[in-house]
Amino acid sequence: MRPTRYQKTNDDRAQMLLATGVVLLLSLLSMAVFSVKVAGLTSAHEVNSDSVIETTKEVMQELPSLAENRTELWINSGLERLDAADIAMESIHDDLLHHGEIRGVEVKMLNITTVVVDASSMSISLELGVTDDSSTLETNFTFIITA
């Protein structure tokens, strides 16, 4: 008995089936990628998104104590009170701007004005602006620190 030998034929059916499978797989993959992109488009533009309002509340709640603590640090380092408050507010602005970028909102403090009230307190006024992709909230904010 002689072993059977495989004979090569010019049958391209297997290659065509493989090519069809690859094309089908690629088209399904591209549809999946497109679907994920479309699904992600609405996440930053939710109608009920309140990130601007919440961020504004958080900044207004924490800003006075943060400004007071940083001003005291600069005063203890030997700076004058007004200079210390100005540098403290500048550093807070930079930190909030960076934090907002991470969080998906932009936090800016404009027209920061520091006025000495008496020997132990200062008044700080500013325009607070918080923005995301779909909304903006601008607020005038004034607070007093003891330093």
Among 29-33, 52-56, 65-69, 72-76, whose mean pLDDT is lowest? 29-33
Q: How many folded domains does the chain comprise? A: 1
d(CA 92, CA 106) in angstroms, rounded, equals: 14
Q: How much is the pTM?
A: 0.64
> What is the domain range of residue 61?
50-146
- Is residue 102 one of the residues assigned to a domain? yes
Confidence of residue 73 (pLDDT cuts 50, 70, 90): very high
Structure tokens at 127: 């325009």
DSSP 132: -
Residue 126 lies in a domain: yes
Domain of 118, CATH number, reads 3.10.450
Q: For 62-71, what is the mean pLDDT?
A: 93
Q: Extract the runs of DSSP E, i.e. beta strands, from the chain.
A: 106-116, 121-131, 136-146
- Tell me if 33 is assigned to some domain: no
The pLDDT value recorded for residue 45 is: 45
Tell me if 27 is assigned to some domain: no
Residue 4 lies in a domain: no
Match 């380092």 to its residue by tokens.
77
Q: For tokens 């203890």, name the residue.
A: 76
Q: Give dist(CA 71, CA 85) in Å, integer.
A: 5
CA gap 63, 79 in Å, rounded = 21
Q: How far apart are the first and last CA of the chain?
A: 106
